[in-house]
Amino acid sequence: MNPLEELVRRYVPLGSESAKGFHTVKCAICNDYKSRGGFRFDGSDIGYNCFNCGYKALFEETSGKLSRKMRNVLTSFDIPEDEIDRALGKNFIHGRQEESKREITLKDIKSVSLSTPTIPLPPNSVPLADVIDTEQGRSILEYIESRGLTLHSHPWYISEKMPNRVIIPYFRNGRIIFWQARIISSAVPDTPASKKIRRYLNCEAPRSNVIFGYDNLYSYSKKPLFITEGVFDALLVDGICTLGSTLTPEHLEIIKKTKRRVIFVIDKDKTGKNMALSAIEHGWEITFPPNGAEDVNDSMKKFGRLYTIWSLITNVSTGIKARTQVALKCKG
């Protein structure tokens, strides 16, 4: 088995082998929700074919270089470029440099830019479930429950290096691609100085293409895909969040690939206004928490989950109507 095949088998969740020798996968090029893509390993050669979008790529070891199309396939499946180059060796790195001189299409750039490397958790991180009987564990769980969630809503972590914070991993295909550490409310004193305390600490990694709940984008569901500003609201509605109110070009490209109906859940503040206007500009629907509720968590506490979800779906708007709603409801 050549090093590149070993890399594919390590990073890509390969399915069963078809009669034609293809190991089925959910295509990362078109983000098809069915397993209609496939890798085929033939000696030292590797082929890829998607029977939904028609994307094909071939790696032949004897050619001396890796094609741009095959590199796009590998990076779309989140295989880091540095590991690809190490697996190929010096001769192939030269081949990559020669090929990079040609004109690269916008599709090529987008495919590469959406790659997300695996990120380690903070030092000494342990699952919250393992320390739930400790004072720190109980305090963290109490905060989580105050946000309308439970111990089992997400794989929470804590670390002695980050006291009074709950560590929230971001996953993609089972890999951690980002994390945040949220301070719990009880650890923030009610003083002017407390305003300088950062509520969230983020890992040192690029975040322009990071999305919480990434796999929900491409899961097959007739339910709408809610996009929120924060992690806790995303968990409450089984949606995704974009790590703040700013939608980057990478976020836009990722979201456009989903086959689900997209609804942005807008917070009633200045940051919510920014997200709403960006969503409206790109033709997506927006909605707000019901009247009488500041956010999704507040709504679920006051009105219950069923009414909250129903209200979010039935009160969507787009275009001029949506802009009017933003002007009326968003403060600042």
In this predicted structure, what is the pLDDT of residue 77?
85
Q: What's the mean pLDDT in 202-212?
A: 89
Q: What's the mean pLDDT in 282-310?
A: 93
Q: What's the mean pLDDT in 268-272?
A: 86
* Half-sphere exposure in the Cβ direction for 294 (13 Å, CA): 3
Give yes or no for residue 263 having a pLDDT over 80. Answer: yes
- Looking up tokens 């001769």 gives 91
By CB atoms closer than 10 A (0-12, 13-18, 19+), residue 70 is buried
Buried b (16+ CB within 10 A) or exposed e, 3-12: ebbebbeebb
SS3 for the chain is: CCHHHHHHHHHCCCCCECCCCEEEECCCCCCCCCCCEEEEEECCEEEEEECCCCCEEEECHHHCCCCHHHHHHHHHCCCCHHHHHHHHCHHHHHHHHHHCCCCCCHHHHHHHHCCCCCCCCCCCEEEHHHHCCCHHHHHHHHHHHHCCCCCCCCCCEEECCCCCEEEEEEEECCEEEEEEEEECHHHCCCCHHHHHCCCEEECCCCCCCCCECHHHHCCCCCCCEEEECCHHHHHHCCCEECCCCCCCHHHHHHHHCCCCCEEEECCCCHHHHHHHHHHHHCCCEEECCCCCCCCHHHHHHHHCHHHHHHHHHHCCECHHHHHHHHHHHCCC
237/244 Cα distance (integer angstroms): 17
- Threshold 0.75, pTM exceeds: no
Residues above pLDDT 90, as percent of the chain: 48
In this predicted structure, what is the pLDDT of residue 100?
40
Instruction: Give the pLDDT band of residue 96 (cuts 50, 70, 90).
Output: very low
Domains of the chain, start order:
3-113 (no CATH), 117-205 (no CATH), 210-332 (3.40.1360.10)
Q: Where is average pLDDT lowest: 32-36, 75-79, 94-98, 248-252?
A: 94-98
Enumerate residues 6+ apart whose C-beta is below 8 A from 69: 55, 56, 57
Q: For residue 56, what are the CA distances in angstroms to 50, 52, 59, 184? A: 7, 11, 11, 49
Residues 37-65: tens digit of each pLDDT: 999 998 888 999 998 888 889 998 777 67
By CB atoms closer than 10 A (0-12, 13-18, 19+), residue 232 is buried
* Half-sphere exposure in the Cβ direction for 146 (13 Å, CA): 9
Q: Is-contact 316 286, C-beta < 8 A?
A: yes
Instruction: Give the pLDDT band of residue 87 (cuts 50, 70, 90).
Output: confident
Residue 253, by phi and psi: left (phi above 0), alpha (psi -120 to 50) or beta?
alpha
At residue 232, φ and ψ (nearest 5 deg) are: -65, -40
